[in-house]
Amino acid sequence: MLSFDFSPCQMNRRAMLTVGGLGLGGFSLAQLLAAQARAGTGDKPVTTGKSVIFLLQHGGPTQFETYDPKLDVSSDIRTVGGVTNTSIPGVSFGSSLAKTARYAHRLAVVRSYTTGSASHSNRPLISEATRKANLGSLYSVLAGANDPQTGMPSNVTLFPNAVEPDDLGPDERFGRFSATGEFSSAYAPFAPGGGSTLQENMKLTLPRRRFDNRRELLTALDRLRIQLDSSGALDGVDTYRRQAFEMVLRGVADSFDLSKEDPRTIARYDTREHIHDTRYTDKTNGRQGRKWYQTNARTLGRLLLLARRLCEAGCGFVTVTTRFVWDMHADTNNLGIERGKEAVIAPYDHAVSAFIEDCEERGLSEKILLVSAGEMGRTPKINNRGGRDHWARLAPLMLYGGGITSGQIIGQSTRDGGEPGSEPITSDDLVATIMHTLFDVAELRLRTGLPSDLVRMVTTGTPIRGLFS
């Protein structure tokens, strides 16, 4: 366990050895570094060097008010609030996606995607298609639990409390985000502020007071490094343990320090302008309804910014999610479509467009694939309360970056927006798309010592047709 106690008596060689021996799915980081050094140039990596950010629209997003609007239909089906033109001639999005619409030529939108489920879950992130493990955990099994260059966890899940310590964490009533299926819990996602195994292994033991913000955490890490140097704890420690120690501290400190960003970048991502403090108090959501909507608006943009930082630092798979804010039934617990456009779709539009703009400017459009999807879609018919209910047969799916052929609409829906009007795209296809983005499939087939059935699943799946040229 990596456990820091900042009293002077703890700054010793034993603490140093504990850090260097941080377990990584059967190997310590120090052992991994040593093995790489012995291998010289080593085998060709099985990964492509690309990363995936999975933006889970938890609750079931409406296709009608996002990426597949319908106007030439009866009023009980018609897209609420109209449409906005996009940068692709003849293609429209729902009116609340006006900012994202400007980047439609950089996106791929799938209008024939179906999850096959009408129930709340964490699919397609965790489903039969992922062998009931978090999709990022499958990546970790094959690529390793930590990046060999930076020591960063390869699989991270970000909940609101990753950027606001007092905000909401995971809601796993309908499925555990940390599920690893048949694989070791060592491959569970690292969830800052959450309860993953790796989070427990990186616990900070503070004797007098807890740290209330990341700046204090970073100061403490710097102090730990200085104290270990001055105490002689690093003397005589083998090269690989020392390197591992530095990698862990550098990775934690640099990746989570949003203050190192240009303030203009932070402001660009900030979705707090969409908070309406006096709204939504009539919704309970387990007596936390207003907090759910406020939390989503307060944190979503910064969560995507943090995800981008983590990918730059070596994370291969990052999940971003808040609570079930997309569940637009218009009942006691949930907002309907009209109010949901303001409370949910508007901050989503702001965050996604900021992410795209940022990645384009930073030259990351080939390195990071953003996948935006939920566990289901919404009914064609608007219910008598002004909401749309659960729907298994069609759901919105948007992808950006990662080397995709952009500026295209893949597939089509039926006139009422309730069924695929062309060949259905399934979760199996989406999983294959993600895995082919992350892995060098030809190299992976040649690699020994990996679970053969998992390698077979990853290398034989077929990515969404037309997505890659």
Q: Which pLDDT score is estimated for 64? A: 98
Tokens, residue 176: 């555990």
How far is it, in rounded angstroms, from Cα 342 to Cα 81? 11
Strands, E assignment, 105-193: 107-110, 155-158
Write down all domains in the chain, each with its CATH number in brackets.
Answer: 1-43+194-255 (no CATH), 45-192+259-460 (3.40.720)
Give the model's pLDDT for residue 255: 73
Which of helix, strand or coil describes residue 85? strand
* Residue 459 tokens, joined: 């290398």
Q: What is the per-residue pLDDT for 259?
A: 76
134 within 8 A of 317, measured Cβ to Cβ? no
Q: What is the dihedral of CA 372, 375, 376, 382, to 10 degrees?
A: -90
Closest by CA position to 56, among listed 320, 324, 429: 320
Show the CA angle centred on residue 85, arms to residues 79 and 88, nearest 5°.
Answer: 120
Q: Which of 20, 258, 295 is nearest to 160 (CA)?
A: 295
Q: Render each residue's pLDDT in the chain as its tens digit; 469 residues.
A: 333 444 444 444 444 444 444 444 444 555 555 555 544 445 678 999 999 999 999 999 999 999 999 999 999 999 999 999 999 999 999 999 999 999 999 999 999 999 999 999 998 999 999 999 999 999 999 998 877 777 778 999 999 998 888 888 888 888 899 999 999 888 899 888 744 443 444 443 333 333 344 455 455 555 655 665 666 655 555 555 555 555 555 555 567 667 778 899 999 999 999 988 777 878 876 666 668 899 999 999 999 999 999 999 889 999 999 989 999 999 988 999 999 999 999 999 999 999 999 999 999 999 999 999 999 999 999 999 999 999 999 999 999 999 999 999 999 999 999 999 999 999 999 999 999 999 999 999 999 889 999 999 999 999 999 999 7
What residue type is assigned to position 248 of the chain? V
Residue 155 pLDDT: 92
Strand partners, 397: 110, 373
What pTM was computed for the model? 0.84
Return the pLDDT at 415.
Answer: 98
Angle at alpha carbon of residue 206, lines to 203 and 208, rounded to 5°: 160
At 146, give phi and psi (nearest 5°): -140, 150
- How far is it, in rounded angstroms, from Cα 353 to Cα 341? 16
Phi-psi region of 285 (alpha: psi -120 to 50; beta: other; left: phi over 0): left
